Structure 1
Amino acid sequence: MGETNYRSGIDRRSEAYGHNTAYRRFRHISVSERILNTAFLLTIAIGYMVALANMYYTHQSRDGIAGLSIDDVIIAYHGSDDQTRLGAAIKGIMEPNLKYKSDKDIILKWIQNGAKEPEYNDHIAPILNRDCIICHAPAINPSLPDLTHYSGVAEVAHASGASLPFLIRISHIHLFGMAFLLFFIGKTFLLCDLNNIVKRVSIIIPFAAMLLDVLSWFLTKSFPAFAYVVVASGALMGISMGMQILVSIYQMWFYPGNKFR
């Protein structure tokens, strides 16, 4: 009896302060919590923009044409008889990193001649060790191709696309990292005043798009047409995540009838 009266008192006090004991909304949180949520969401938004820029500069010009295209995605995951990842990088994003311009022709000629190991040891390894492994080493950046030894260089010097170990490595990093971000973004988005069905669908879409995106990396390795799925699913995840961020920030600060505490 005493516990029932105690809980009833809590319910009455919650109602008096505008709280719903089942659900919370942005109108129930303090200004301090709004500032924390907004800072987190804006930081994630900026970080995602930087990630897009990194993706662009990592994959662009693989087909020998300036800019990022569907052919660049196909070459990155499936490979090409005319292009290799190392050759495209040397002719594109990595060219400014070479100390001597003549090194570009040396590497390209080596690739055209079959990228064999004896020539690698004599002519290619010194160039890569001097100019490239500052970034392309597992201990420094495990998401980039490993250029510290011949087997790692051979993976990107032949027209084979992304290797299975490489796809598994970047997949587990991507899935773990994005799952945490999408969870906290969705947790904040739940405080919006929206139809429950709309919120449930909006929350599940970026998770589904992320899983489809990663799966399509592996499928593109065997079936290049799935490169379109890579682009579409990645765009869907970004758009849905951005929508949650924008709606959450709007309702936190500008929604009619919102109370500041």
Structure 2
Amino acid sequence: MTPKYTPLKDHDTPIKVLFTGYLCTVGIGYFFALMQILFTHGMADGQFGLSVDDIVYSYYGNRSGTVLETKLNGSMKDNASAQERFDIIKWVRDGADIDDYKDDGIDKIIEARCVMCHNESASGIPNFKEFEPLKALTSQDEGATFASLTRVSHIHLFGISFIFMFVGLIFSFAETTTNQYKCIAIGMPYAFLIADILSWWLTKVHPMFAWLVIFAGMGMGVSFMFMWVTSILEMWLFKPVFLNGIGSKYLEWRDSPDASAVDRLLLALKALAAQAKPLAAFVTEQWLTRAWPIIKGWLKK
């Protein structure tokens, strides 16, 4: 069947250059985004590398200490010496009194180590030239605030959706992937993006959802890389990869009349769903006719 679109390999060279330029730019941007995560969230527990504890500390918080302690032992650990961090933490645990702030020399440490970034000209971070913003960080560490989650959530949903829209648009011209799997690949990033944002809020409520943050992030990355690599290979290396190379085996498997394992799984799921409909109808009927009236009676009492 002749496709109703121009495959990537058959596009004019200027269009290929346009697509490739965009893919390379967002690919580099994605790489730096991962690096930024490693140097921010990945340092929440004081050790380089993203872990479940990092996610928990970032969103749920380290409830055994204060915000300032968590930062000094985590992402800000390298910005002060061990003795300076010890002095600040001791001051915090002694009550974070404003008189001790000056008498113990904490103000000098803050001025030398922190004010270079935490000042009135910096946006989004507290101004440590004033005492009150610093004092606010000596309370229990409860992770990200709901206000910050709201701000970051809408930024990510709007911004990353546009990235996936254009990457998916380019990938939609691929011809080595069937329409069924193409739809799955294009839709997966959006599903994982929503799951990722939702997992932030769930982790804020309970730390057990930290695993969902990692899983959703990995899902986004895998789907992005699949579309990215497939698009680049089809535009510039179609013949050596898909005709004469390892990709030819994939095309033989794709065009095989035998149903693949994935196809068989999808058919099994469809059959299971068809059988589940009567059961769902029965459960719904029992709920409405028996369980719900009993619950309503309890509520009236």
TM-score, scaled relative to structure 1: 0.77
Alignment partner of 1:104 is 2:85: yes
Q: Once the two structures are superposed, what CA deviation does each residue of 1:5-50 show, in whole Å capped at 9, x if it has no partner?
A: xxxxxxxxxxxxxx97x42321341112112211221221122111
Aligned to 1:8: none
The separation in 2 between residues aligned to 1:41 and 1:243, in whole angstroms, is 12
Alignment partner of 1:170 is 2:152: yes
The separation in 2 between residues aligned to 1:216 and 1:132, in whole angstroms, is 32
Question: CA, structure 1 residues 237+116, in 2 after alignment: closer, same or farther (shift >3 Å)?
Answer: farther
The separation in 2 between residues aligned to 1:138 and 1:217, in whole angstroms, is 29
Of 201, 223, 234 in structure 2, the residue corresponding to residue 218 of structure 1 is: 201
Contact 1:61 1:88 (8 Å CA) reproduced: no
Aligned to 2:271: none
SS in 1 for 2:5: coil
Contact 1:111 1:158 (8 Å CA) reproduced: no
Of 26, 31, 39 in structure 2, the residue corresponding to residue 44 of structure 1 is: 26
Shift of 1:54: 1.2
The separation in 2 between residues aligned to 1:152 and 1:30, in whole angstroms, is 58
Aligned to 1:239: 222
SS in 2 for 1:24: coil
Contact 2:46 2:77 (8 Å CA) reproduced: no
SS in 2 for 1:256: helix
The separation in 2 between residues aligned to 1:255 and 1:160, in whole angstroms, is 52
Aligned to 1:55: 37
The separation in 2 between residues aligned to 1:141 and 1:186, in whole angstroms, is 34
Matching residue's letter, 2:160 = M
Q: Once the two structures are superposed, what CA deviation does each residue of 1:205-258 show, in whole Å capped at 9, x if it has no partner?
A: 101111110111011011110100001001100111111100000111112399
Aligned to 1:254: 237
Q: Once the two structures are superposed, what CA deviation does each residue of 1:74-93 show, in whole Å capped at 9, x if it has no partner?
A: 11111123344532332344
Aligned to 2:136: 154
Identity of aligned residues (%): 33
Unaligned runs of 5+ in 1: 1-18
Q: Once the two structures are superposed, what CA deviation does each residue of 1:100-119 show, in whole Å capped at 9, x if it has no partner?
A: 65432222223333556665
Matching residue's letter, 1:203 = I
Matching residue's letter, 2:20 = T
Shift of 1:172: 2.0
SS in 1 for 2:164: helix
Q: What root-mean-square deviation, in Å, do the aligned CA atoms of Structure 1 and Structure 2 show?
A: 3.0
Q: Once the two structures are superposed, what CA deviation does each residue of 1:126-173 show, in whole Å capped at 9, x if it has no partner?
A: 64455335445696454xx43546347635852211111111122122
Matching residue's letter, 1:146 = P
Alignment of 1:1-261 (within 5 A): 22-65=4-47, 67-98=49-80, 102-115=83-96, 127-128=109-110, 130-136=112-118, 140=122, 142=124, 145-148=125-128, 150-151=132-133, 154-155=136-137, 158-193=140-175, 194-256=177-239
Shift of 1:202: 0.7
Matching residue's letter, 1:35 = V
Deviates more, 1:115-124 or 1:235-244: 115-124
Matching residue's letter, 2:233 = Y
Q: Once the two structures are superposed, what CA deviation does each residue of 1:159-200 show, in whole Å capped at 9, x if it has no partner?
A: 211111111122122222211111111111111012112111
The separation in 2 between residues aligned to 1:130 and 1:224, in whole angstroms, is 35
Contact 2:96 2:135 (8 Å CA) reproduced: no
The separation in 2 between residues aligned to 1:96 and 1:191, in whole angstroms, is 47
Higher RCO, Cα 8 Å, sep 6+ = 1
Question: CA, structure 1 residues 140+151, in 2 after alignment: closer, same or farther (shift >3 Å)?
Answer: closer
Number of aligned residue pairs: give it.
236
Aligned to 1:14: none
The separation in 2 between residues aligned to 1:121 and 1:247, in whole angstroms, is 61
The separation in 2 between residues aligned to 1:213 and 1:138, in whole angstroms, is 33
SS in 1 for 2:40: helix
Contact 2:39 2:48 (8 Å CA) reproduced: no
The separation in 2 between residues aligned to 1:105 and 1:47, in whole angstroms, is 37
